[in-house]
């Protein structure tokens, strides 16, 4: 992967770009990351294609079809914008080299790996062809090798360029010389049989390290594909017979992808993948690639080192460490003096992880891979991400030895919900409310068991907290803490603080939109002062009683449609 050049975009749609993975005749491919921490491959078409309306129409249809495939051996399409000034499409990122890179680095693949590769790709093509699509560009660089099996990428995108005026320009061709079928070269149209021809060439390359057609120029390659027999080299046995059948000049003489899949793996490709299908050097390479992507700089500024509390905070007893069964809750934060807020030292904005003073003399930092969730009540505007996944976190070496508790490392650094200008006067230090009492009253000073008169049923009032997930429950995203108080339609209903696994926070302001007998509907908008990783766009949320709990659901697709079942804590 190459770093971004100064003339390349830093973001595309909702994705921050981390580097360029490659480029081709249709566009450039970038590694991107969503605000929620999901890593994706973003393909941006070349700008001159954006001027061709016929290309846009075909691109739109093919992306829509690609969303429906979702096969086990293809990279699913997650997002796209065919109507953007420069169209783009985002697919799931797979940690692993392309077949072209793997063979270049480690040489030809062993026979059992080639068999599993062929079976997986044949099943992928079966799913694509059943939707009436033709890939048209099956080649080693469009095949990724992951620990879970091969993935066929970029299908449908080449199809979108067929017949557009842009492709009549000099130097542009559909497909890749040496892997294109004879009928593609001769302009006779491409059916599913063209993909089978390309698959035969890919299997030959994987097994021998050389393509079946070779030449010093594109013209020589194209001539060989149309008129000469393939060179199968060291291929032997059934794999040689399969490759030869795929490379037949007559499309009707080639097997179908379903026939190939059954011949290579009678019990299914997954059976061949189970237990490991890649040779040792590639397993190591894939693992290194995954760690490298995980450690990539996202462009967010992070700070390290202790951030001192003010005097009043240091006199308060430290919060208890997280219990083993506390779902990541670290207890109430220390009381701060609201009349005299502490001033952070230069370069140390609030929101950084803080080590309590008694534990500042920790041993030198080490590295440990952890997956965790932290509950805190940071100030509005603190750094953090709305969604996140497993992270590699630099922590004190004493953590592994038990010298530094995780609760101390992620100790909350402020109290309250960041509600600036909330109801009530600022109390003196001697009257500073605790986090629990402040949250329970919604900033009004009224106890939760005596709610002020208003339209909101008492069932909803108070402070709620629980773990949240996104992407249909597949991605843990930290802790949600919600305070609900009385409000009329169109007024502020409450605030939601969303604390991710690193203790970073985004704050949302909820405005009551509608009340029904079974739920509250509100508009959620990012608070001023949130950092750039928080989604500022307004979206709709619903609060629904479930037993003694309160269920939060959101229609924000940019955040993965978060859901949280929260229990009352105040």
Q: Which residues are annotated as a binding site for ATP?
A: 43
CA distances from 338 to 312, 378, 481 (A): 10, 14, 21
Find, among 104, 97, 179, the residue nearest to 143 by Cα. Answer: 97
Point out the annotated binding site: 43
* Beta carbons of 359 and 327 less than 8 angstroms apart: no
- Cα distances (angstroms) measured from residue 237 to each of 122, 223, 233: 19, 28, 12
Long-range contact pairs involving 533-536 (C-beta distance under 8 Å, separation at least 24) = 533/35, 533/300, 533/383, 533/384, 533/385, 533/386, 533/504, 533/506, 534/35, 534/384, 534/385, 534/386, 534/506, 534/507, 535/35, 535/386, 535/506, 535/559
**Whether 92 contacts 34, CB under 8 Å:** no
Q: Is the four-CA dihedral 288, 289, 294, 295 of positive or negative sign?
A: positive
Q: Nearest 10 degrees: CA dihedral of 521, 569, 532, 407?
A: -160
SS3 314: helix
Bridge partners, residue 467, by sequence: 479
Between CA 432 and CA 215 the distance in angstroms is 80
Distance, in Å, from the CA atom of 77 to the CA atom of 65, rounded to the nearest integer, reads: 10
Tokens of 323: 């219990």
> Which of 120, 152, 128, 126 is CA-nearest to residue 62?
128
Of 7, 52, 137, 195, catalytic: 137
For the question of residue 361 being annotated catalytic, the response is: no
Which positions are annotated as active-site residues?
137
């Amino acid at each position: 992967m190459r770093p971004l050049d100064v003339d390349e975009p830093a973001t595309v749609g909702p994705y921050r770009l981390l580097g360029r993975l490659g480029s081709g005749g249709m566009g450039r491919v970038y590694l991107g990351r969503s605000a929620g921490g999901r890593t994706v491959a973003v393909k941006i078409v070349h700008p001159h294609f954006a001027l061709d309306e016929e290309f846009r129409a075909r691109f739109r249809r093919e992306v829509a079809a690609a969303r429906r495939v979702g096969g086990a051996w293809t990279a699913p399409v997650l997002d796209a914008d065919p109507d953007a000034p420069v169209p783009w499409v985002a697919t799931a990122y797979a940690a692993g080299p392309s077949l072209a890179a793997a063979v270049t680095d480690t040489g030809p693949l062993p026979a059992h790996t080639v068999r599993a590769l062929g079976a997986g790709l044949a099943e992928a093509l079966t799913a694509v062809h059943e939707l009436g699509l033709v890939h048209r560009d099956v080649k080693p660089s469009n095949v990724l090798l992951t620990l879970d099996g091969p993935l066929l990428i970029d299908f449908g995108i080449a199809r979108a360029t067929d017949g557009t005026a842009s492709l009549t320009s000099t130097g542009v061709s559909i497909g890749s010389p040496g892997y294109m079928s004879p009928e593609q070269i001769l302009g006779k149209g491409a059916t599913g049989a063209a993909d089978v021809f390309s698959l035969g060439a890919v299997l030959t390359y994987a097994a021998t390290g050389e393509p079946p057609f070779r030449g010093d120029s594109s013209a020589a390659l194209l001539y060989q594909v149309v008129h000469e027999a393939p060179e199968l080299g060291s291929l032997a046995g059934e794999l040689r017979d399969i490759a030869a059948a795929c490379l037949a000049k007559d499309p009707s003489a080639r097997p179908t992808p379903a026939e190939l899949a059954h011949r290579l793996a009678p019990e299914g490709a997954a059976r061949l993948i189970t237990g490991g299908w890649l040779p040792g050097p590639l397993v190591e390479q894939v693992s290194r690639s995954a760690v490298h992507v995980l450690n990539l700089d996202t462009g967010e500024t992070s700070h390290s080192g202790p951030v001192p509390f003010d005097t009043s905070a240091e006199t308060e007893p430290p919060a208890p460490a997280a219990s083993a069964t506390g779902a990541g809750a670290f207890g109430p934060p220390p009381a701060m003096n609201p009349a005299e807020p502490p001033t952070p030292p230069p370069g140390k904005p609030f929101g950084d992880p803080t080590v309590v003073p008694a534990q500042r003399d920790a041993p030198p930092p080490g590295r440990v891979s952890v997956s965790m969730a932290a509950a805190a009540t940071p100030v509005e505007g603190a750094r953090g991400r709305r969604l996140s996944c497993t992270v590699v976190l630099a922590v004190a070496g004493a953590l592994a030895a038990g010298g530094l508790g995780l609760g101390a490392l992620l100790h909350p650094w402020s109290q309250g919900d960041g509600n600036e200008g909330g109801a009530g006067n600022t109390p003196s230090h001697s009257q500073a409310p605790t986090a629990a009492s402040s949250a329970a009253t919604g900033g009004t000073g009224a106890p939760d068991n005596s709610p002020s008169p208003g339209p909101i049923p008492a069932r909803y009032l108070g402070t709620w907290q629980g773990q949240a997930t996104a992407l249909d429950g597949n991605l843990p995203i930290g802790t949600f803490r919600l305070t609900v108080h009385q409000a009329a339609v169109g007024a502020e209903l409450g605030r939601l603080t969303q604390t991710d696994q690193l203790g970073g926070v985004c704050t949302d302001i909820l405005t009551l939109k509608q009340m029904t007998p079974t739920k509250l509907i509100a508009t959620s908008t990012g608070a001023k002062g949130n950092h750039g990783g928080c989604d500022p766009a307004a979206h709709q949320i619903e609060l629904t009683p479930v037993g003694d709990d309160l269920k939060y659901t959101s229609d924000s697709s940019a955040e993965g449609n978060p859901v949280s079942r929260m229990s009352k804590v105040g």
